[in-house]
Amino acid sequence: MIEDKNQQRTQLSDLGEFGLINHLTEHFEIKQSSTLKGVGDDAAVLKFENKKVVVTTDLLLEGVHFDLSYVPLKHLGYKAVVVNLSDVCAMNAQASQITVSIAVSNRFPLEALEDLYAGIQTAAKIYNVDLIGGDTTSSTTGLLISVTAIGEVEDEEVVYRDGARPNDLLVVSGDLGGAYMGLQVLEREKEVFKVNPNNQPDLEPYTYIVERQLKPEARKDIVQLLKDLKVKPTAMIDISDGLSSEIMHLCKASDVGCDLYEEKIPLDPQVISTCEEFNIDSTTIALNGGEDYELLMTISQDDYPKIKANPNLTVIGYMKASNEGMHLVTRADTRIPLKAQGWKNFND
């Protein structure tokens, strides 16, 4: 489906470990004042002047988290960084550094890793983070990427999951369900391609949702927006597993309940039309789809005037006492207990 136009193949063994790391990272620049020493010693050396430091890490595995038959390596590198930066944003922090480790089998030529690192570098540039370390090793099967992201935040600005209080507003950035529906489109095209490799897929009607899947963004802009609006959320989390699961995390950590209004859930028109095409309920997709990397937060009602006119933020419900439970209030005005579909990898 994704045609490999790069015919050149350089064996990884031609470079050796240090040659490989140097080759892949030589064009990365150090820009953060907090980075004193990046790649090239036993460890990177950082200095954060009187700020809190946040640290998060994620593993991405071929065959589990991505399928290289329709994910270009450059996009994969970009996404591997972004999903970690999204966690940094969820702490209301600014990302500053990343480490990237990869395990890769011999079937990948050097040119494939160059594509992967081109995506990593693009993300590092756009999000203004320094690549400060990593490890490169061979794998007996497939590709694995492990990213650790580091960020900084003023002492009083850090936002946890556990600060939501009854009557706080539940607010989400952007729109939901796009990444999951983009994946459905890509999976369908992969099946079509298997049957007829000459068929050229027309992804034009799905541009937005396919991009949401292949090239998600961390909502660094929302962290800045909240700062500009002088709104500090009482709790915040990023939406990696689906709205329902993340709401339940917030409620559990904060010991509160919640009413979520179905009619308020922000959906892009392309998500709605694609859901109709696939005959899937769009609310189910928004609740359980995952990988949208939007920010879900609770804010004090006092802050409502500051956000109400903003197109990037949507109030989708409000928090209640813990004993009132967590519910979806449907368009038909019935109340359904929220369920998290959660993580099913081990059941595959």
Instruction: Restricting to residues 264-323, name those near a second copy by CB under 8 A.
Output: none
Q: What distance in Å separates the CA atoms of residue 318 and residue 261, rounded to the nearest whole number?
A: 9
Q: Which residues define the annotated binding site for Mg(2+)?
A: 42, 56-58, 87, 135, 238, 241
- Rounded to the nearest 10 degrees, the angle between the axes of helix 178-195 and helix 207-214 is 100
Q: How far apart are CA 348 and CA 344, in angstroms?
A: 7
Phi, psi of 244 (to 5 degrees): -60, -50
User: Exactly one of 58, 67, 114, 277 binds a second copy (CB under 8 A); which one?
Assistant: 58
Looking up tokens 């800045």 gives 224
| Candidate list 1, 23, 52, 111; residue touching a second copy; CB under 8 A | 52
Collapse the DSSP code of 170 into the 3-class scheme (helix H, G, I; strand E, B; otherwise coil) and give the result: strand
Of 74, 75, 79, 161, the one binding a second copy (CB under 8 A) is 161
The reply to whether 226 sits near a second copy by the rule CB under 8 A is no
Least distance to a second copy, CB of residue 273, Å: 32
22 part of the interface to a second copy, by CB under 8 A: no
Edge-to-edge, what's the strand order for the sheet holding 313-321?
Answer: 235-238, 295-299, 169-173, 313-321, 256-261, 326-329, 335-337
Give the shortest CB-146-to-a second copy separation in angstroms. 4
CB of 2 to a second copy, least distance (A): 21
The alpha-helical segments, DSSP class H, found in 290-341 are 304-307
- Whether the Cβ atoms of residue 177 and residue 292 lie closer than 8 Å to each other: yes
Q: Does 343 participate in binding a second copy (rule CB under 8 A)?
A: yes
- 174 dihedral zone (left: phi>0; alpha: psi -120 to 50; beta): left
60 vs 181, beta carbon nearer a second copy: 60
Question: Smallest distance, Å, CB 250 to a second copy?
Answer: 11
Strand partners, 297: 171, 236
Kindly tell me which residue out of 25, 32, 56, 94 binds a second copy, with binding defined by CB under 8 A: 56
**The one-letter amino acid at 242:** G
Say whether residue 10 binds a second copy (CB under 8 A). no
Q: Among residues 71 and 275, whose Cβ is nearest to a second copy?
A: 71
Give min distance, CB of 35 to a second copy, in A: 10
Does residue 77 bind a second copy (CB under 8 A)? no
Segment interacting with a second copy (CB under 8 A) among 146-154, 214-222, 263-271, 279-287:
146-154
